[in-house]
A and B are shown apart, each in its own frame.
Chain A
Amino acid sequence: MKIFHISDLHLGRQLGGWDLAESQRFMLGQIVDKARQVRPDAIVIAGDIYDKAVPSGEAFSLLDDFLCDLGDITPAIPVMIIAGNHDSAVRLNFASSFLEKHQIYISVMPPQAEEEHLKKVVLHDEHGPVNFYLLPFTKPGYVRGLFHDKSLSYEDAFAGILGREKIDFSQRNVLAAHQFFVSGQKSPEKCESELAYLSVGGVDSIDTHVVSDFDYVALGHIHGRQSIGGPHIRYSGTPYKYSVSETGHHKCITLVTLGEKGSTPEITFLDLECKPEVRKLRGSLEEIIAGAADGCDDYVSITLMDENPVRPRDFLDEVFTRILEIRVDNTQTRTMLTARETAEDFPEPSSAFADFYREINGADMNEAQQVIVEDVVESLKGREENAS
């Protein structure tokens, strides 16, 4: 059985003030094309469909067109979607029952009442059934009602939800989730995009041992493609470079081929072209402009290393059409970033005065003047102490 694993579409996202709608439309088009070629048995989208809880109309129409295009493929490919932390459960859930009739399965909330269970989709191939469990983004509070434990951790909550399901591990099982997974001391490689959303101190981290029994775990949340805690537990990464920190990433669809029970799934990657490309440029103004022959329409983050850039924006605007940001990395900014406090910050009044005198008069005080200043400072301190 072949499965497309993608996640973190972030529809409606902006990059450095630029609207990415067209780039995203192109990206989704590629995915539809690949689906048409490969004819996977299922497409799993592991969360963060939209970038915002309240997506723009354009974002809605992007998803609409995407699902529509997929629906045009026959025989129909089942699509499984879970909500990520960026998604609004209520909004994503719109028309889900209707969509289910067209084999589009959407799960937005973990079970919250005794009688509720994870959404389970069963598909078959020559080796028998494959059970897909859809577990949307979960905070402990969402399921507190199930476990009556106030101090429930992310891992407790997640393991608890899985524990409630009667999962037959003699069959093949696939889990879709959108959480921050770690494996022992090892954490996934992160980039700027998700930093603001991760809890400091790692309270939201879940160890992969709670999911290791699944035959494949399709994860979303982290923007860089990677496996964690085993070859069958994977983040697919974003299908597009959503921050300057992702310029080094290679964006793909993760194609999972499940064999019979017990065999390691085969993982291959179907390349996705980012259009326009997102790039980081670093060097002197002259170098950057000289090297700008190709990719003048890419999204570029430019770091200038000139000590004294003169109206660089005017020069760069002439060459590049989509500038994300222009930064300067030179002695001045480095000094600004590394300046630490010194004893100089809080000098004694008399030595401060000595500095001041030197600065104003270009020479040190004579001995008599030093004595005077010290006497003045001492007498004022004494007065202050008496007063207090």
Chain B
Amino acid sequence: MKPIFLEMKAFGSYKDATIDFSQVPGGIFLITGDTGAGKTTIFDAITYALYGESSGGRRSGSMMRSQYAEPDQVTSVFFRFSYGGKIYEIRRIPEQVRYKKDKDGSFRKLKTNLMASVSLTMPDGSEHPGNIAAVNREIEKIIGLDKAQFTQIAMIAQGDFLKLLLASSDDRRKIFARIFDTEIYRRIEQELRERCDRQLGALLQNRDHIRLTLDKVPFCGDEALEERWHAFDGGRFSENDPEGLLALVQEICDAWKMQLEELDRQKDAISKDRNETDHQLQESRQVSGWFDDLQKAESAMENLLAAGRRIQDLRDRLDAHRRAQDLMGLHAELKKSRKDKTEADAKLKELDAWISEHRPILEAAKEKRAAAGEMQKKLSPELVTRIEGLQADMPLYERLEGLEKDSRELKSQTEGLRQLIEKGTSDHKELEQQIRELTLTMDHDRDEVMRLAELKPEKARLDDLSGKLVRLEKAAKDAAGQEKKLKKAEEAADAAQAEAELARENYEAVYAEMMKDHARMLAITLKEGSPCPVCGSIYHGGATAAGGDGAGRSSEEAEQARAAREEAESRLKDRRMEAEKILTKLTFVREQYQSLSEEVRETAGDQYDPEDLTSLRLRTDNRREELRLEIEKLEKVQKKMPAAQERLAGLKAAMEVLEVSGSANETRYQETCRNAAAAEAAYKEAASRMTFEDKEKAGAALKEAQDQLERLNTAERTARDEEALHIREMAEHEGRRGQTAGRLAECEAALGKAQEAFDGGLKARQLADEETYLKVLLTAGEASEADQVIRDHEQALAATRQDLDRLRECTAGREKPDLSVITARLAELEQKIRDLEKPIRETAAAEKVCRTALEDAEKLYKKRAGLSETYKDLKQLSDTAGGNVPGKKLRFETYIQRRYFKSVIARANQRLIKMSRGQFALVCRELDQSRGNAYIGLDLDVQDLVSGQMRDVKSLSGGESFLASLSMALGMADMITASHGSVRIDTMFIDEGFGSLSDDVRNQAIEVLASLSEGSRMIGIISHVSELRAQIDIRMNVTRDARGSHAKWQTDDQADGV
């Protein structure tokens, strides 16, 4: 990952900043600035842009938000970077509170937060379609490092730097687990442990199975076995001697088998005896049966013979029936002839009845037809004539209608015109009225406006007067005020005068007193005979006596009094000057007042009363206000006048138009009235000539006549049709009656012939008459039944006879045997067999259970051997992986981490030895020194290469710690690059730490970093160490002012002012 461009909006201490990394050609560059200027924020922004979390793990917008941004500015970070020569862009916005700017410039917090979002643009310009989680995964895929790895090796934050070095063994284990993903090793441990537990479970389960299986084995009470039985836990399980246990079970099984075989033998012997007895019983039963059958056959024979009489009767009846049966055809013919004759009779009677009933109806129809014909002939000519007349008149009625319509239209036109004329007249009147009024108003306005010429000058004069009055009033007030002040000042001056005089007197008194004292003091110190320094006298006695009270005034007091006097006099002088100043002012104000007063008198004339200025001013102002309103009103009127003139001209023009159209309407009205009268006359004349009032009524009369004619014709036609129908029906019925009479005669002849033939038949078959014939005749069922009865009887007789012969032969010379003895013996034997069945069944079952259990147990023991073997292997694996081998308490994951750790240390040392000038190296502490803790084995020691002594890494100095940390980070980077072949770490940022280095060591560190950069890798050092600025040409200066942080590439335009 190589940064190209970074933009921070409202992020951290940046309000809106961009950083162009493309200027950095590669190698080491420095981000420098004061503590708190925002160096680390740049670092945070890159980490946040890539991973959605700042290096400190913050992700909410409010925490990253800039205090310098306007509330409505959205916090966002945009980062363009290249990886493997391809360019990616990512923009992230953290979740944040939204604000809206109101019109008054204040901000209002919105209810919903702006949600976090991200947009990643791929090298082909497309945007990654996934959500935040997907983009985060994509970034990890692109860069090949997750956030933990990134912040440990590519962007080493202030706090993280020493973390790896100084972490406790357990913390380091967590870091390693995260960075090198040793999860799978821990899972291998866990999986092995779980498998081992499962295997143990399977072993225990197998034992329970064996126990359960062998528990089912029934013990057969062999005392020889019993002892061994108990030795094996009731014969259920043995861990050590499964073969012995299984042999015991086999013996039990064999014992059961022998018992079963003995029982089977007993059962077979009894069964044989039973079968013989059974056979004997069968034979005896057969002989006994023969005796019983013979007895039955004899009795049946007797019965058959007894039925002989009844069979003979049946034969006779059957014979008579057969004779009568021959006549059945003739008898049927006879019956048919009788029936035909009866039917013909009935038909004839029916037809006669119909004819006699319909003859009168036919007559009535004939009469009705005649009457209708008569009526038609009489009425139709007249009706035809009438219809023709009316039809001819129809056009005349149509013409009449036309005339009537014309007349009506003309009348309505007349009415319309009349209304138009009336409206014209009223409009005209109204216009006249308006013109009159408008003219009057205009005249009035014109007069009013004339007055403006007088009003305006008057107002100007009054405005002037008012101004003067105000000034005059002020002057009067000022004068009064100054007078008052003057009076006060004069009073003060007088008072000061009095004070000054008092002070002066006082001083003089004090001074005189003092002079006296002086003289006295001199006198005291003088000795007689020595000259006085003042007067030169050598006599002083009198002077001493004149010393007075001796408590005279001192010169200090005199000095005080003199000062008081001077002060009072100066005060007096000030007061006087003040009073004079006021007087001058007053004179000036009075003059002002006089000149103003003259001016006012000139303007106001006799209205002016100097004593009452206020009322004059009020009057003047009132009048001014009146005038102002008046002038305003008149000017408005003046403005409106041209519009009124225009309106008047418009009204006059409208009136002219109205007059012209009125006379035209009058002419048209007269003409239309004349036309209307003529049309009405024409209509009336035409109407008087017609029969009916109008076309409608004439039409109704025509229709009436036509309907009447139609009714007559219809009545005649109907009567004729009815008559024809009746005539046709009558002729038909009469024809049919003739036919029926003929057929009756034929039937009577046929009947006679049939009677004769039947009677002849009866005689020939010796049957008395038709009645006997009917009696002898049997139905078909009866006949065949009788026949069957006779035949059955004959067969039974024959069979019975045969049986009798056979049975008599069998039984000849035998006795009937006694069955009960044999049956009793058989029952006894069968009971014995049944008694044996239960023990056999039970024994067989026991044997089977025993055998099955044995087989199952054998299988389970075989399986147990395999389980046991695997368990042993697994237990050893699990114990090894989990650090449970006695004396070797190293867990697998720890072992792997130690391997990684040692690799990292080896790589770190290559740099550390160089940077520390061969002074020390890092060493992974040997295991047994870590007090055998199975978890941890990642303790770090430092070896003093010179003395070979080991010490704890925490004992390193600050600078040494920095070097060791840097080496560890570089070693880690090497490891990650090596373990993820595709990961390229093109950029490294190191935040602080250089401050703790001495010059020599810092130079070594820079040298190692410079060689690391290999010209193309970017190594950013974030530091405020000033010496670094001299060493690193490419620098970014970070500053912070009232508007937030600023980052600027610094070119070396000026030598550093250090």
Contact = CB atoms under 8 A, between A and B. Distances in A.
Interface of A: 14, 16-17, 52-54, 85-86, 88-90, 108-109, 139-142, 144-145, 195-197, 199-201, 203, 303-304, 308-313, 325-329, 332-333, 336-339, 341, 345-347, 349, 352-353, 356-357, 359-361, 365-366, 368-369, 372-373, 376-377, 379-381, 384
Interface string B1014-1041: 1100000000001100110100000000
Nearest to A140: B1052
B877 A346 contact: no
Given A88-B1055, A328-B945, A368 B869 contact: yes
25 contacts: A53-B1027, A88-B1055, A109-B1055, A139-B1052, A142-B1052, A196-B1010, A199-B1033, A200-B27, A200-B1015, A311-B947, A328-B946, A332-B945, A336-B921, A339-B906, A339-B910, A349-B185, A352-B185, A352-B899, A357-B877, A372-B874, A372-B877, A376-B188, A376-B191, A376-B195, A377-B188
A325 B917 contact: yes
Contacts of A369: 873-874, 876-877
A53 B1000 CA distance: 15
A91 to B, nearest CB: 9
Interface in B159-189: 184-185, 187-188
B503 to A, nearest CB: 69
B641 interface: no
B896 A90 contact: no
A106 to B, nearest CB: 14
A356 B898 CA distance: 11
B996 to A, nearest CB: 16
A368 B885 contact: no
B619 interface: no
Contacts of B1031: 196-197
B895 interface: yes
Given A201-B27, A352-B895, 18 more contacts: A89-B1055, A199-B27, A200-B1010, A200-B1013, A309-B947, A312-B947, A313-B946, A327-B918, A327-B945, A327-B946, A333-B913, A339-B910, A341-B903, A345-B899, A360-B880, A372-B874, A373-B192, A373-B877
A333 B1030 contact: no
A309 B1054 contact: no
A312 B25 CA distance: 46
A228 B1058 CA distance: 32
A338 B910 CA distance: 7
A108 B1007 CA distance: 27
Contacts of B195: 372, 376
Contact of B946 (A140, A141, A309, A357): A309
A316 B919 CA distance: 16
B607 interface: no
A200 B946 CA distance: 32
B382 to A, nearest CB: 119
Nearest to A110: B1055
B946 A312 contact: yes
Closest 8 CB pairs of A and B: A141-B1052, A327-B918, A196-B1003, A89-B1055, A141-B1051, A139-B1052, A201-B1015, A339-B906
Contact of A53 (B869, B946, B1026): B1026
Contacts of B873: 366, 368-369, 372
Interface stretch (B105-113, B246-254, B559-567, B974-982): B974-982
Interface string B951-986: 000000000000000000000001100110000000
B1057 A379 contact: no
Given A142-B1054, A352-B185, A337 B979 contact: no
Given A16-B1000, A201-B1015, A349-B185, A86 B1030 contact: yes
Q: Is the interface of B mostly helix, strand, loop or mixed?
A: helix
B892 interface: yes
B879 to A, nearest CB: 9
Contacts, number: 171
Contacts of A345: 899-900, 903, 975, 978-979
B622 interface: no
B192 A53 contact: no
B888 interface: yes
B190 to A, nearest CB: 9
Contacts of A379: 191
B278 interface: no
B979 A346 contact: yes
Contact of B880 (A53, A196, A361): A361
A189 to B, nearest CB: 17
Contacts of A108: 1055
A361 B1014 CA distance: 46
Max chain B C-beta neighbours (<10 A), residue from A200, A203, A333: A200
B909 interface: yes
Interface string B880-898: 1100010010101001100
B870 interface: yes
B610 interface: no
A360 B885 contact: yes
B999 interface: yes
Max chain B C-beta neighbours (<10 A), residue from A328, A338, A384: A328
B123 interface: no
B1056 interface: yes
Contacts of A201: 26-27, 1015
A310 B880 CA distance: 38
Nearest to A243: B1000
Contact of A142 (B921, B1007, B1055): B1055
A195 B1051 contact: no
Nearest to B999: A14
Contacts of B881: 353, 356
Contacts of A145: 1053
Nearest to B918: A327
B797 interface: no
B907 interface: yes
Contact of A200 (B890, B899, B917, B1011): B1011
A20 B669 CA distance: 143
A325 B919 contact: yes
Contacts of A144: 1051, 1053
A373 B907 CA distance: 31
A197 B1003 CA distance: 8
Nearest to B180: A346
B921 A360 contact: no
Contacts of B1011: 200
B948 interface: yes
Contacts of A336: 906, 909-910, 913, 921
B377 to A, nearest CB: 120
B1053 A141 contact: yes
Contacts of A90: 1055, 1057
A54 B1058 contact: yes
B918 A353 contact: no
A353 B27 CA distance: 42
B403 to A, nearest CB: 110
A142 B903 CA distance: 46
A351 B921 CA distance: 30
A195 to B, nearest CB: 5
A316 to B, nearest CB: 9
Nearest to B889: A360
Contacts of B1010: 196, 200
Contacts of B840: none
Contacts of B184: 349, 377, 380-381, 384
